[in-house]
Amino acid sequence: MANIASALLILLLAAPAAYAATTYTVGDSNGWTTSGDYTTWASDKTFTVGDSLVFNYGLSHSVAEVSKDDYDSCSTSNLGKTYTDGSSTITLSTAGPMYFICSTPGHCGNGMKLAINVVAASGTPSTPTTPATPSDGGSTTPSTPSGSSSPTTPSTSAKSPPPPSRYTSGATSILYNMMLGVFLVLGTTVAMLC
């Protein structure tokens, strides 16, 4: 009986390791510099909600989160969260694309920019897509606008829903799953000891 309890205790202690996030050092040992190739650096990595990016850089640089348009054009007019401390850790809290640049003039244009795609962690609920309900009581036939002689064809391109807010965290569901596992193991242990 003691062996079973010991085995369950070891399992309980090892369970959180299954949920460990990965910490990526951007540019590896070279860090965040104007001589880095961050497209190649990111190409063989899978970034998951809960992972972290560590940017190590000199004080003449920065890390700024930007939109795709600002990333593509290296624009610094709409910077999101900006870091300037020389060693910045950014936790990836939502699934979807993320874009980073150095806001020092000329640095982004010289390649100091990073684009990644963050995927949902296993066990992280995805946002369901709800089909739109027709506004005319259920009819799916398009109506003819007044003054028009032929019916219009609805657009076939579907818009995807906006990504979840950057302020929600997949860490909540990971913590929930860890706690559920802890309670299941403890409940099993207590049941076996009785």
Span 36-62, pLDDT tens digits: 999 999 999 999 999 999 999 999 999
Average pLDDT, the chain: 74
- Print the SS3 string covering the chain: CHHHHHHHHHHHHHHHHHHCCCEEECCHHHCCCCCCCHHHHHHCCCEECCCEEEEECCCCCCEEEECHHHHHHCCCCCCCCEECCCEEEEECCCCEEEEEECCCCCCCCCCCEEEEEEECCCCCCCCCCCCCCCCCCCCCCCCCCCCCCCCCCCCCCCCCCCCCCCCCCCHHHHHHHHHHHHHHHHHHHHHHHC
Judge whether residue 34 has pLDDT over 90: yes
pLDDT at 178: 62
2-125+167-193 has CATH 3.40.50.2000 classification: no
Q: Where are the domains of the chain?
A: 2-125+167-193
In percent, the amount of the chain with pLDDT more than 70 equals 53
- The mean per-residue pLDDT over the stretch 2-25 comes to 60
Structure confidence at residue 189 (pLDDT) = 63
Higher pLDDT, 50 or 182: 50
pLDDT at 98 over 70: yes
* pLDDT of the residue at 188: 62
pLDDT at 131: 44
Percent of the chain clearing pLDDT 90 (strictly above): 51
pLDDT for residue 96: 96
Q: What is the pLDDT of residues 110-129, one digit of tens each?
A: 999 999 999 998 754 444 44
Nearest-angstrom CA–CA distance, 135 and 155: 16
For the residues 75-95, what does the mean pLDDT come to?
Answer: 94
**How many residues does the structure list for the chain?**
194
